[in-house]
Structure 1
Amino acid sequence: MRIELGHDEEPEIGLIALIDCIFFLLMFFMVATSFKQQEGQKKEKDVTILLPTSQASLVRAEAATTEPLVLTVDAQGAVYIANQKLSLQTLHHRLQDEAAKNPARPIRLDGDRRTPYQHIVHVLDLCQFEGLTQVSLHTKP
């Protein structure tokens, strides 16, 4: 027995379904590419930087009237005043004495360019704790 399915028609390619598949693949690759760029951007933020040297230094007329207390920090983080190496406790007492004499006395911080930033911040914290807020960083042009 023969089954009649209707009149004979040519098979058609479903263009709409094909366009949907291509659109889906296009969206998939666009989203995957955007995730890869975000991962690359995170790696760029971890790059270490070298702080630049100063091309010019400014001297204010008010600061020139009072001689600043010069603190020198070497590459290992040791602190010196007038070429005398000080422990952190001795530095703390010295800054207390300077703040008691003149709280407006300027402080000049000379730091080696290889000094870790944490050592500089520690000295700045000690100055601020004692109320010595006129701190300048000495750089070479």
Structure 2
Amino acid sequence: MQIQILKINGTAKELYPLVGPLVMNPEVLKYNNRYPFKTGKNFEWYIAVNEANDETVGFIPLEYKSHETSINNYYVQQEGHNEILNRLIEAVWQNMTKDMPQLTALVQTRHAALFKEQGFTTTKEWKLYLKMQKTK
């Protein structure tokens, strides 16, 4: 599967056709532990698109805050899951600059190993999530 990663502002009109069908899908919300996705002017979305059919296969919304840059919701389809999620995390990291606050992520426990491979360490644990920060 050839994947293209798009970076789109959180209020851009082209964002909604790409992620709308997913963020309103009950199965995608279940993947996200029934927590709704949100966006705004302080968000940038990294969207994985299958080049063969222009279908969105995953996304990571990144929120810029004064004290941290935060991944707090994400979705990736089942087929090619780990590869797509890795590509999205790499794209986020490649776009970080030295003047940006620390990159943190609220990670589903089932993805902890994958984020650890990407250089994140755990700073707090809950039942369904871990708070992790990028350390390398």
- Common fold by TM > 0.5: no
Structure whose residues are more often helix by fraction: 1
Structure whose residues are more often strand by fraction: 2
Instruction: Look at both structures and tell me which one has the larger radius of gyration over its CA atoms.
Output: 1
Does 1 or 2 have the higher relative contact order (CA < 8 Å, sep 6+)? 1
TM-score by length of 1: 0.30
